[in-house]
Amino acid sequence: MSEQFTIRRAEPDDDSLIAALVVEGFLDKFRPVFGRRMDHSVKIMQKWVGLEHASGGVESLVVDSAAEIVGSVGIRTAESREDVLARGLWRTLTRNLGTPRAVWATTLLSYPRYSWASSEAYVERLVVAPEFRQKGVARGLLAAAEDLARESGKVTIGLHVSGQNIPALRLYEDEGYEEVSRQRSLITGYFLGIRDWLYLRKEL
Ligand SMILES: CC(C)(COP(=O)(O)OP(=O)(O)OC[C@H]1O[C@@H](n2cnc3c(N)ncnc32)[C@H](O)[C@@H]1OP(=O)(O)O)[C@@H](O)C(=O)NCCC(=O)NCCS
């Protein structure tokens, strides 16, 4: 990663920019989830990121270039308060989407299924703005996430990736991550075009 980029811990004011990056980076996944309510997606994601920081055991890192945030990643190093997280997310979804669409969104967003392990950090929503890709930003973020995991006393780090996300799979493979399990979902296969979710892990 070149010197024009700086990695730092995210602050609460960054939540809306992280949300916008995530929605842009995962448009293929979010369009079928939010449907005609896509204009609410950044607001929902911002609330979700805020909830993860407050009750989800997750910390975020961001990459600055000039005055702009051009990449971000979330790292879970503590167990989440699932009840608070789920209640908060459900409230946001129903307020923004209405109950039927919220049920639908919750179903699709519940994949891939994740189980917490105390010795393992978990990487999520790694994303780089399209115009800043293939400059080493994600590699830098991943290395910083691994440092954070080591500082938290973790012995391994894990993440989910969809089976056809070639850029991400190349990056993880290159950085020493190995597949440990695979989930198959007919629902996400049909509606998101993602049938296989791979769980990858690396020893720290
Ligand atoms: C996946 C993603 C985070 C990569 O970000 P990036 O900053 O472009 O990645 P880097 O520049 O750090 O690339 C590191 C390595 O990843 C691989 N890679 C990145 N983009 C690639 C592409 N388009 N095709 C093939 N390999 C690619 C290469 O191995 C690359 O190493 P190299 O530059 O030595 O060839 C980015 O494409 C993105 O935000 N995608 C949308 C969100 C997403 O899918 N996130 C991953 C969720 S699991």
Nearest CA to ligand 1 atom 22: 167
pLDDT tens figures, 30-83: 999 998 999 999 999 999 999 999 998 999 999 999 989 999 999 999 999 989
Alpha-carbon separation of residue 49 from 4, 76, 196, 200 (angstroms): 26, 12, 25, 23
194 within ligand 1 shell (Cβ under 6 A): no
pLDDT tens figures, 96-141: 999 999 999 999 999 999 999 999 999 999 999 999 999 999 999 9
Ligand 1, pocket-test mutation among 24, 73, 111, 133, most atoms within 8 A of CB: 133
Closest atom, ligand 1, to C-alpha of 159: 48
Closest atom, ligand 1, to C-alpha of 129: 39
pLDDT value at 2 more than 90: no
Each domain of the chain, given as residue ranges in start order, spans 5-159
Closest atom, ligand 1, to C-alpha of 165: 44
Residue 186: how many other CB atoms lie within 10 Å: 8
Q: Right CATH number for 5-159 from 3.90.1150.10, 3.40.630.30, 3.40.50.2000, 1.10.10.10?
A: 3.40.630.30
The verdict on whether omega for the bond into residue 12 sits within 30 degrees of 0, i.e. cis, is: no
